[in-house]
Chains A and B, each alone.
Chain A
Amino acid sequence: MNLDEYSGIWVFLEVKDGKIAPVCLELLGAGRQMADKRGVPLAGLLIGYGVAPLAESVIPYGADVVYLYDEEIFRDYRTESFMRAVLECVEKHKPEIILYGATSTGKDLASAVATDLQTGLTADTTMLDVNAENGLLEASRPAFGGNIMATILCKKHRPQMATVRPKVMKALPPDPNRTGQIVRETINLREEDIRTKVLEIVRETKEKVRLDEADVIVAGGKGLGSKDAFELIHRFAEKIGATVGASRDAVEAGWIDHQHQVGQTGVTVTPKIYFAIGISGAIQHIVGMQNAGLIIAINKDPQAPIFQSSHYGIVGDAFEIVPMLMEAFQKMPDKEVQYGGKI
């Protein structure tokens, strides 16, 4: 494989609810920096049906080019159809790097594409860099349940690929004066060639807990002692407009549903504020919340490891401290602080 034939950095542009998924704008921000370092163009790859109007929208975020596949066969995301488009586009334009959001769709697509291209794919990357000279992508990620960080390289295969966690890279402020090019691509793909069909999409927006999108999370752990006591977490969260999180222990004790679980076997979260209440701070929990903007721990046990991983800690009884906090929030002048939008 002649590595020099491959040039340019791509971001797979996932469409979510009729918009470009936020993580893809973040990847354009990171991709722009790497493209400048390398002196190569940054391209978006947009696949869908009726998505053409979105192509222009990513130029202000840093893309020089958008490769656009807009055809009915791409109405629903399906691994096989989207993969065919990515493979054809790679074959044609030969990028050196492709980044995907580490979403269900991004991970599904990237895994399939990597196998067909027989190239390296780094999962759930949280740090990205590129070597300006040799073009090696340095993709770093937590490994072994967050016990270590590892930097992964793919030296002899192109394109180098990575899925990247949402909310760890920064989108650029949109620059309306930026210009770019939309390249329309076509593909010879018939419905009969695709072995899967989406029969129905069911949105569960009402009850669904979106921890990954929450700005403020109040999370409770085993230290609370019982399901009844866990009510305190719900009350505090409701008071300040936060989303309720939980440690694995609290979930396994049956105090709260699994969809609230933060950590390795739960959800990875990046809120602006994270309250860890009665959570001891096992590494599996820490990896799920360590990128929060401000971590506040409340725990009776002064030795609890959570204090090592928090910005501010209060050693004390949650049942004394939390009600006092609630009262203090109550007294706050209206609208002076708008964390979850509710305070």
Chain B
Amino acid sequence: MVLGSEEGKAMLHIVACIKQVPDTKIIKMNPRTNTMDRSSAPAILNPYDAHAVEEAVRLKQRYGGVVSVVTMGPPPAVKAIRKCVEIGADEGYLITDRAFAGADTLATSYALTKGIEKISEIRPVDLVICGKMTIDGDTGQVGPGIARRLDIPPLTNVNKVAEVNRDEGYVIVHRKLEDGYEVIKSTLPCLFSVEKEINEVPYSPLPNMLRAARYQPVIWAVNDLGEIDRTLLGLKGSPTIVAKVWPPEKPKGGERLEGTANEQVSQLMEILQEKKGLFRVKEEQV
């Protein structure tokens, strides 16, 4: 891929990777087949990706530049790209092809990498930003996968971008840790996966909304992506398979305590007393 560009010639070019997902908050299950009724859930822009796009737009406002978004998905995913235009993205690219169907995280990172490489031929790419994870896949594995394939440093769990210095070719960011954060310096180009707390996505300004309503993204099929190894795409290119799905087990307990409030509270206290052995805090460390 064409990474970075001749000095002083172009502006910062940031590509945000996004996905349209079913809103898992309201998706319904078919109780007979234990499958998801996808038609029951509206398709939305993955909420974590909104933060990725917002961060790209903020960096553009800070340093000047262009924000592109890329997604792999079926044709209706155009809607998710329009949402990104509302947030402030300049350009959108949809890569869509039946050959992509059934992709796991490895095959997805390959397809998106091919898309980013193609975008970089139009305008060299300095920075790739992904959301922390998607709400339907819940893995967070695609971002680092893209970085490895592009051979650029993956910076995950980014919750603050302190500096992007395109001329000198470095960035300084904060990476969230379980008990704090680390300040890390990386060469540019690189890839961030951002935490949702990195920013708040404000209501979109009217001009963006107007532009988004009419926006038509660039649409590419596999054949448009240049040299590509089809065996690495979709189901064929996915080392993992889903062998079985089943509804999660519900705790069987579900016992309602009966009686007056007083009685219920004393029953509960008895239960807690009874189980105290189970819950005793023990000191165990290596």
Contacts and interface: CB of A to CB of B under 8 A. Distances in A.
Given A115-B149, A338-B281, A196 B186 contact: yes
Interface in A288-343: 290, 293-296, 307-316, 320-321, 324-325, 328-329, 332, 336-341
A111 interface: yes
B265 interface: yes
Interface string A186-199: 00000000011111
A198 B271 contact: no
B36 interface: yes
Contacts of B276: 336-339
A308 to B, nearest CB: 6
B181 interface: yes
A104 B266 contact: no
Contacts of A227: none
B43 to A, nearest CB: 13
Interface string A117-158: 011111110000000000000100111111111111111110
Interface in B217-273: 238-248, 250-251, 253-257, 261-262, 264-266, 268-269, 271-273
B155 A340 contact: no
Interface stretch (A2-10, A66-74, A200-208): A200-208
A326 to B, nearest CB: 10
A20 interface: yes
Q: Secondary structure of the B side of the interface? A: mixed
Interface string B102-126: 0011100100000000000000000
B245 A310 contact: no
Nearest to A124: B138
A330 to B, nearest CB: 11
B178 A103 contact: yes
Name which of A157, A195, A216, A329 has the most chain B CB atoms within 10 A of its CB.
A195
Given A145-B24, A155-B241, 8 more contacts: A25-B286, A108-B154, A111-B144, A115-B144, A145-B135, A151-B242, A312-B256, A328-B265
Interface of A: 16, 19-20, 22, 25, 54, 57-58, 61, 76, 79-80, 103-104, 107-108, 110-112, 114-116, 118-124, 138, 141-157, 171, 174, 195-205, 208, 210, 212, 215-216, 258, 264-265, 272-273, 282, 284, 287, 290, 293-296, 307-316, 320-321, 324-325, 328-329, 332, 336-341
23 contacts: A79-B154, A103-B178, A111-B154, A112-B144, A115-B148, A119-B106, A119-B239, A121-B139, A121-B141, A123-B105, A124-B139, A138-B243, A143-B137, A144-B27, A147-B36, A151-B242, A151-B243, A154-B239, A199-B172, A284-B25, A325-B265, A329-B269, A336-B276
